[in-house]
A and B are shown apart, each in its own frame.
Chain A
Amino acid sequence: MKFAVIVFPGSNCDLDMYHAVKDELGVDAEYVWHDETSLEGFDGVLLPGGFSYGDYLRTGAIARFSPIMESVIKAANEGKPVLGVCNGFQILLEAGLLPGAMRRNKDLKFICRPVQLVVENGGTMFTKEYEKGQEITIPVAHGEGNYYCDEVTLETLKANNQILFSYKDDINGSVNSIAGITNEAGNVLGMMPHPERAVDSLLGSNDGLTLFKSILSHWRERNAITS
């Protein structure tokens, strides 16, 4: 399996993302600069955190129109796993690949610390190696992680089991304490917490590695069936 790690001007978690899949998960990965237009040959797409375009206008608003994004949308429509973390999540929201939007954290503080998450849906390509209801520790680092969607959207997210992770305690004011959601098809995940920063017990937790293991194990199963 080969991952693309998309690098925007202002990305700063790209090295951690690359390390997580290349060194800890042990699969192939390559950086792809935002000016590129093709994601040919990649089986999964990772949008790292950071401050793409300095968060000008709105978080993710300008990165969403980077040349590579057309290929990211194409990969998403083809059913390939697409994971956006933190700023990557914000870009997926702006691109319309996921519903909703981000607001400033309710207490206006930049929150940077490990938090407890609850795995709300354990059966997906991103969470199959977790148990539903499992509590995991993954760090967050954001000033605008206060997820918003209207009530109709929230009901849809719940009905389709699109909420994969929620904060055990409300940390930023997010609707329903949402920490991570997928699209309706389930192959695009956006989450504010950083699984790539929790891939080794030396880092305080390896709960994030399980997410990458889930993607790989799902990919292997699917390819074994089709080949």
Chain B
Amino acid sequence: MLYEVKVFISLKEAVLDPAGAAVKSSLHHLGFAGVEDVRIGKVMTLQIESTEDKIEAAVTEMCEKLLANPVIEDYRFEIEEVVSQ
């Protein structure tokens, strides 16, 4: 089965995000005074050939080993089956 997996990676709450802070300040300059916080993260889209019982553990391992750095980053992911046309 072919799956499309979206992995979302963000800096942990406790870790200051200087790029996010700069974007927030720029949004304030544009007049969006209500913006209280901006956190910049990454989204990765993976196409993976796997099975229903293995896919979640495999993606978790990918995140822990390479895609995220657990010291400063959190991750979550969404798995969807790719329906053939």
- Residues of A whose CB lies within 8 Å of any CB of B are 57-58, 61-62, 65, 93-94, 99-101, 103-108, 146, 148-150, 173
User: What are 9 A-B residue pairs whose CB atoms fall within 8 Å in the complex?
Assistant: A57-B67, A93-B71, A101-B71, A101-B72, A103-B15, A103-B17, A146-B18, A148-B71, A148-B72
Assess whether B18 is in contact with A58, with CB atoms less than 8 Å apart: no
Assess whether A148 is in contact with B18, with CB atoms less than 8 Å apart: no
Number of interface residues of B (CB under 8 A): 13
Question: Is B19's CB within 8 Å of the partner chain A?
Answer: yes
Assess whether A101 is in contact with B69, with CB atoms less than 8 Å apart: yes
Q: Which interface residue of B15, B17, B72 has the most chain A CB atoms within 10 A?
A: B72
* CB neighbours of B27 from chain A (8 A): none
- Residues of B whose CB lies within 8 Å of any CB of A are 11, 14-19, 22, 66-67, 69, 71-72
A103 in contact with B72 given A108-B18, A150-B14, A173-B16 (CB within 8 Å): yes
Q: Which interface residue of A58, A61, A150 has the most chain B CB atoms within 10 A?
A: A58
Report A205 CB to chain B, min CB distance, Å.
29
Of B11, B17, B18, B71, which one neighbours A107 at CB under 8 angstroms? Answer: B18
Q: Once bound together, how far apart are the Cα atoms of A101 and B66, in whole Å?
A: 14
* CB neighbours of A104 from chain B (8 A): 18-19
Q: Once bound together, how far apart are the Cα atoms of A173 and B71, in whole Å?
A: 17
Report B80 CB to chain A, min CB distance, Å.
23
Q: Which interface residue of B11, B16, B19, B22 has the most chain A CB atoms within 10 A?
A: B16
Instruction: Name the CB-closest residue of B to A102.
Output: B72
Of A57, A99, A108, A150, which one neighbours B19 at CB under 8 angstroms? Answer: A108
Q: Once bound together, how far apart are the Cα atoms of A149 and B70, in whole Å?
A: 11
Assess whether A65 is in contact with B18, with CB atoms less than 8 Å apart: no
Q: Once bound together, how far apart are the Cα atoms of A15 and B17, in whole Å?
A: 34
Q: Once bound together, how far apart are the Cα atoms of A146 and B22, in whole Å?
A: 16
Assess whether A103 is in contact with B18, with CB atoms less than 8 Å apart: yes
* CB neighbours of A58 from chain B (8 A): 69
Instruction: Name the CB-closest residue of B to A58.
Output: B69
Assess whether B72 is in contact with A173, with CB atoms less than 8 Å apart: no
Instruction: Name the CB-closest residue of A to B44.
Output: A57
Q: Once bound together, how far apart are the Cα atoms of A62 and B66, in whole Å?
A: 8
* CB neighbours of B17 from chain A (8 A): 103
Q: Which interface residue of A57, A100, A105, A108 has the most chain B CB atoms within 10 A?
A: A57
Q: Once bound together, how far apart are the Cα atoms of A148 and B22, in whole Å?
A: 19
Q: Once bound together, how far apart are the Cα atoms of A104 and B19, in whole Å?
A: 8
Question: Given A58-B69, A104-B19, A148-B15, 11 other A-B contacts at CB below 8 A?
Answer: A61-B66, A62-B66, A93-B71, A101-B72, A103-B16, A103-B17, A105-B18, A106-B16, A146-B18, A148-B71, A173-B18
